């Protein structure tokens, strides 16, 4: 019998050799699992889009990034779940109420996707600003990596950038792009040059945040940059 990490109820799961010999057993019950909706949208960012004859296409947002900005610093974003009401509450419990154990709900999927889609990428986590780190006591992106090896090479130095992205005005977002809050640690440049990087974060909304980090990695010599997030809104 196992105990669901989300609802805390006990549940039975089928016993097999796979479960006995692998530690990555199911962490949540079938009821909670059913509330998590898998993404299957835009071929580049996983934005929910209509399929045509069961084929996935690039969304207008991704096309706009290249058209308006003269190129997209992010090759691809892969998100695991849609940002529905259930996941929104789950991530709030994880990030703002300090239930760090909930990271284990997602670690198996993160490992699986990295192995299958980004096997030759160097993994890095999107950092928090010092003030946000002090407030929460942990970095939610780092916790999602579990025991995976990753390259700690980014910093987030602007303490006045703590306002939530969804709460910012258009003028504040433009100013943020002009004053990139991310930077690469100077002593890490040599390790970055010529490598592919995968940025881990919790939510992809407009993609602006991971792209700002991607710009800094590319300027430091990275060959290309993609991202992997838990949720796609």
Going residue by residue through the chain, which has 233 residues, state the pLDDT in tens, using 9 for 90 and above. 789 999 999 988 765 555 444 555 568 999 999 999 999 899 999 998 877 767 888 999 999 998 887 789 999 999 999 999 999 999 999 998 888 899 999 999 999 999 999 999 999 999 999 888 888 889 999 999 988 999 999 999 865 555 555 555 544 554 556 689 999 999 999 999 999 999 999 999 999 999 999 999 999 999 999 999 999 99
Distances (CA, A) of 66 to 44, 53, 152: 12, 26, 28
**28 and 56 both lie in a single domain:** no
* Strand duo 77-82 + 196-204: pairing: unpaired
Spatial contact of 28 and 5, defined as CB atoms under 8 Å apart: yes
Q: Are residues 2 and 92 in the same domain?
A: no
Q: Is 118:155 a contact under the CB 8 Å cutoff?
A: no
90 and 149, same domain (yes or no) = yes
Q: Are residues 22 and 49 in the same domain?
A: no
84 and 136 housed in the same domain: yes
Contact assessment for residue 48 and residue 41, using Cβ atoms and an 8 Å cutoff? yes
- 154 and 130 within one domain: yes
Q: What is the tally of structural domains in the chain?
A: 2
92 and 3 within one domain: no
Query: Phi/psi of residue 36, each to 5°?
Result: -95, 115
Q: Are strands 154-156 and 182-184 parallel, antiparallel or unpaired?
A: antiparallel
| Host H or E run for residue 78 | strand 77-82
My answer on whether 103 and 19 are in the same domain is no
69 with 9, same domain: the answer is no
Within this chain, do residues 67 and 120 fall inside the same structural domain, yes or no?
yes
Question: What is the helix (H) or strand (E) element at residue 210, kind and residue range?
Answer: helix 208-219
**pTM for the whole structure:** 0.87
Which residue segment(s) compose the domain that 50 sits in? 37-232
């Amino acid at each position: 019998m196992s105990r669901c990490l989300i609802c805390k109820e006990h549940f039975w799961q089928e016993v097999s050799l796979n479960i006995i010999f692998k530690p990555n057993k199911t962490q949540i019950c079938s009821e909670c699992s059913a509330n998590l909706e898998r993404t299957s949208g835009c071929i580049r960012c996983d934005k929910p889009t209509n399929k045509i004859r069961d084929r996935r296409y690039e969304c207008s947002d991704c096309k706009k990034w290249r058209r308006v900005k003269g190129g997209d610093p992010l090759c691809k974003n892969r998100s695991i779940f849609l940002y529905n009401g259930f996941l929104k509450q789950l991530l709030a419990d994880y990030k703002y109420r300090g239930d760090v154990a909930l990271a284990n709900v997602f670690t198996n999927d993160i490992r699986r996707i990295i192995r299958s889609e980004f096997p030759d990428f160097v993994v890095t986590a999107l950092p928090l600003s010092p003030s946000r780190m002090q407030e929460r006591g942990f970095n939610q992106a780092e916790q999602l990596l579990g025991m995976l090896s990753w390259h700690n090479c980014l910093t987030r130095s602007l303490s006045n950038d703590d306002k939530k992205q969804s709460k910012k005005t258009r003028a504040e977002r433009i100013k943020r792009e002009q004053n990139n809050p991310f930077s690469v640690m100077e002593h890490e440049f040599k390790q970055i040059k010529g490598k592919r990087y995968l940025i881990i974060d919790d939510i992809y909304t407009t993609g602006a945040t991971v792209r700002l980090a991607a710009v800094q990695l590319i300027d430091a010599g990275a060959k290309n940059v993609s991202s992997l997030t838990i949720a796609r809104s």
